[in-house]
Structure 1
Amino acid sequence: MVVILCKQAQESSDAKPELKKGTLTMDVDSMIKSCLINRIRLLGFFILLLKSKNKIQVYFPIFVAFAGNGKSVYNAWRTPSMWNEIPAFYPHIGRRFHLRSRFIDNWEKVKLVKLELFDKNKRVMWMTFNGKNTNNMNWFDKKNLADSSFNDLAPCSTFNVFSINGDLRNGWLDRRFLVNRSYAGCAQDYGWFVIADTYKPCKWEKRGSAPVFIYTRNNTPRNYNQDSDTAETMVISVLMDM
């Protein structure tokens, strides 16, 4: 059985959140197939529960990062002491700091990982990864890539970097969560996705205060100068056994 629960906002700040809109149940295989086909978007106030063989699998956000707030995304992701539990209604709490769940440091039950970019409340990019037999740093790797919104990205694509650590050159370059094809000087940099976390040496990275979330559009050569856009928010969610 599959149960989808939607948590609704309360008008009174003193009222406790409650689950409304009932439940939806159907055959597990049919629901999973439907989810994959329609690429259901699950934001912080949506939780997907899959009940099967006496196990409950939960798909929920564990990290929310905001562009332009001056805080390092990389440091927030990898530092346990920087956790800030993610409230159900995180889109409304402000963007002054990134939100980090303690589930990041309890990775052994993770099955799937989803990274999404949003701009003006619209999802503009997503990637999903196999999370089995990974840790909270090496899941973001070409060998774990399962699917994405990019129409030419696959594990067999050509990369010079595909990692959370990205490309760090102290005092000059700081590119994290980097999915990059090639470098040949700023004018000839090609790739799919990058967070300009602190330093921004190239013109294509200088799009407001750090961090900057940059992705390239489909059906282009994927040159960061001509073919890229930016996003306001990055959300990382996981599917895990509970």
Structure 2
Amino acid sequence: MAAMMETLDVLFVVCLTLSNIFGTSCVSKGKFSRIDGYMLSSGGPKFHYTTLSCGIRCFHNTSCLSFNYHVKTEECQFNIYSPYTKPLDVLQAPEWALYNLKRDNDWKLVFRAKAGNNLSPYHTWMGTSSPPTPVEDGCLLMTGTSNCTSIYRSHVLTTWDSESISEVKLEMYKDGNMTVNIRFNGTGSTYTNWFDHNRLIDSGWSTMSKNRTFNFFSLRGDCKRTFFVNEFYLICPKDLGWMIVIDPIVGSCPCGYDTQSDKPAFLFAQGDNVTRWENNDYGRADVLAVFIKRWLGHWNR
């Protein structure tokens, strides 16, 4: 952490101070998002800095991805991880705030839903249903145990066409561990058509590819099966697929796997290939998240 203490270039400090790195860009380099009531347990030594001074030092060091800050004692801890690279290290911590640094080439969280809270991820994504407000800071984290009773939906979904999006990524998490990862080509996409097998780049399943047969690969899916990636229907016992979000509001379906006690339910194939849904050997995630990446040169708002 010695590099954190180095004297900063005067012009760089002026630039950061004037442009306010906690809300706007400095020559399109990045900015911080603040998550109140949380910290990373993997933080380094504690220093006494103002929030701005702590942020400048973190911003200037390429190994710093976030910092913990105690709002009363003004203690600052630099982190070489972010809440998205080390979700299991995130702790609830009253009077602390976790500042996550977002640079131009970083993935940006634009949507986060939680299993079992009876809210519709599909309708919220489409903008036809408004999540409860306020949306707690815990709704920005990838652990299902964080304090979150709503769905996080970024304004980016309403300005998608002008965001210069290069890639889109959908992830699911169980107990803070990533269980699903699908990456899409976002160039020229809209917020409704990015989730398509023709845009598929790669995923955690090596068997999922553009050349595979799908009977559904869509956000809307079929009846209450949304965010649906499926290969085959042949009466319920032989339905095969990779992932489903069983929505609490959308439609109704006839199969046993559609009957989940808590909705929404985030179901996924645990092996490297499709799962037979009626066998009930699928996994259940507790968080679904969507991230975007922009072309370099387009500011990470």
TM range (shorter): 0.7 to 0.9
Q: Under a length normalisation based on structure 1, what TM-score does the superposition of the two structures give?
A: 0.76
Of 210, 217, 231, the residue aligned with 1:181 is: 231
CA distance in 2, matches of 1:21, 1:41: 11
1:116 equivalenced with 2:166 (yes/no): no
- For CA contacts below 8 A with separation 6 or more, give which structure has more relative contact order: 1
Is the contact between residue 169 and residue 181 of structure 2 (CA under 8 Å) also seen in structure 1?
A: yes
Can you list the C-alpha shifts for 1:125-162, whole angstroms capped at 9, x where unaligned?
11000100100010000010001001200011101111
Residues 19/237 of structure 1: CA separation in 2 closer, same or farther (3 Å cut): farther
Structure 1 residue 114: Cα displacement: 0.8
Q: Secondary structure at the match of 1:82?
A: coil
Deviations 1:109-128 (A, max 9, x none): 11111110000111111100
Offset at residue 4 of structure 1 (A): 6.0
Q: Is the 8 A contact 1:62 1:86 kept in 2?
A: no
Identity %: 23
Unaligned runs of 5+ in 2: 1-28, 30-60, 88-97
Name the residue aligned to 2:242. 192
Cα distance change, pair 146–3 in 1 and its aligned pair in 2 (3 A): farther
Q: Is the 8 A contact 1:80 1:102 kept in 2?
A: no
User: Which residue of structure 2 lines up, in the alignment, with residue 64 of structure 1?
Assistant: 112
1:42: Cα distance to partner?
Answer: 7.7
CA contact (8 A) 1:76 1:82 kept: yes
**1:20 maps to 2:78:** yes
The within-5 A match list for 1:34-183 is 41=85, 47=101, 49=103, 56-79=104-127, 82=130, 87=137, 90-91=140-141, 94-107=147-160, 108=162, 109-167=164-222, 173-183=223-233
Normalised by the length of structure 2, the TM-score is: 0.62
- In 2, are the aligned partners of 1:86 and 1:101 still within 8 Å (CA)? no
**How many Å separate the matches in 2 of 1:88 and 1:67?**
14
In 1, distance between residues paired with 2:185 and 2:75?
Answer: 32
Shift of 1:237: 0.6
CA distance 1:136–1:221, change in 2 (3 Å) = closer
Q: Answer yes or no: is the 8 Å Cα contact 2:200–2:209 preserved in 1.
A: yes
Does structure 2 conserve the Cα–Cα contact (< 8 Å) formed by 1:69 and 1:95?
no
Misfit runs of 4+, over 6 Å: 14-19, 42-45, 83-86
Q: Which 5+ residue runs of structure 1 have no aligned equivalent?
A: 24-39, 50-55, 168-172
Q: CA RMSD in A?
A: 3.2
Q: How many pairs align?
A: 214
Asked whether the 8 Å contact 1:112–1:128 carries over to 2, the reply is yes
C-alpha distance 98-221 of structure 1, shift in aligned 2 (>3 A): closer
Q: Secondary structure at the match of 2:224?
A: strand
Shift of 1:11: 3.8
**Conservation of the 8 A alpha-carbon contact between 1:45 and 1:88:** no
Residue 156 of structure 1 aligns to which amino acid in structure 2?
N
